[in-house]
Amino acid sequence: APSAPPPPPGAVLPPSLPPYFVKGSIIQLADGELKRVEDLKTEDFIQSAEISNDLKIDSSTVERIEGSHTSPNFAVVQFSVGEHRAQVSVEVLVEYPFFVFGQGWSSCCPDRTTQILELPCTKLSVGDVCISLTLKNLK
């Protein structure tokens, strides 16, 4: 069975923290262009989604951030998604980065993100608008 590619040498990642957030990871945009994860801009996501056949960009506003009952290493982030303001909660490691429109990578604990991933990161706050994806309506 195919397995996920290994993280870069030297990277020791906690479970649930994907390897592509490590600084220097190579990301392929929809037009084939390659960029480092730390160099991605809002426009890269928007333009990639425009090219995509089945995905489109949606905006997800952070409505609440609270500690997880499961572990102090996790946070629960509640988003209001899209024009219909659908409520979505995700439980993530506090260092898990989200991409904020016009701002870049942000996490609940940017110091840990920078420490573990070396990814430049700002503090994720209530009111931030993150990039999310939704499926285009296929007819």
Neighbours of 94 (CB within 10 A): 21
DSSP 34: E
- Terminal-to-terminal C-alpha distance of the chain: 33
Which residue, 114 or 132, is less far from other proteins as judged by CB?
A: 132
Number of residues that bind other proteins (CB under 8 A): 38
Would you give the binding string for other proteins spanning residues 62-101, x where CB under 8 A is met? -------------------xx-x-x-x-x-x---x-xx--
Bridge pairing between strands 34-36 and 26-28: antiparallel
Residues paired with 21 in a beta bridge: none
Per CB under 8 A, which region of 67-75, 108-116, 121-129, 131-139 contacts other proteins? 131-139
Phi, psi dihedral angles at 110 (to 5 degrees): -60, -30
For other proteins, the binding residues (CB under 8 A) are 5-6, 18-21, 25-30, 34, 37, 40, 44-45, 48, 52, 55, 58, 60, 81-82, 84, 86, 88, 90, 92, 96, 98-99, 131-135, 137
